Amino acid sequence: MSYISEFKDFALRGNVLDLAVGVIIGTSFGKIVTALVDSILMPVINMVAGGEAPFKDLQVGGIGVGAFLQATLDFLIIALILFLIIRFINRFKKAAPVEPPAPPAPNRSELLLEDILKELRKQG
């Protein structure tokens, strides 16, 4: 099998395509959340905090904590949305009924031991 046909088989496999779509949608969703935090949430936080400079430029003792807080807020929003989506999907998945496996049939040794036990009970 040539490298090109092997790569084609790999790239067109269902799992790889699903993963690619997931990465693209996740990247786009991340950009939407970043825009939400940059354009709406951080200006509101900045107004409440009473700062003149953008919140992402906030520094404490020369350490830039504003950008870190902004990235943390991005992460928390994305994590919450993904949690809610997965929870919603899991709610509609029907769990397959789990049947306990049938006990294995007794083998010849077990049958002989049962017969011996019956005979001993008759005698005792």
Specify the CATH number for the domain of residue 27: 1.10.1200.120
Q: What rounded mean pLDDT belongs to the chain?
A: 80
3-state secondary structure of 27: helix
Rg over CA atoms, the chain: 31
Q: Which domain holds residue 42?
A: 3-99
Q: Is residue 45 part of a domain?
A: yes
pLDDT of residue 96: 63
Q: How many domains does the chain have?
A: 1
In tens, the pLDDT along 55-111 reads: 667 777 877 777 788 888 888 888 888 888 888 877 877 766 778 888 888 899 988
Q: Is residue 108 part of a domain?
A: no
Q: Is residue 104 part of a domain?
A: no
Q: Is residue 75 part of a domain?
A: yes
Q: Is residue 124 part of a domain?
A: no
- Alpha-carbon span 38 to 114, nearest angstrom: 77
Q: Is residue 118 part of a domain?
A: no
pLDDT of residue 2: 83
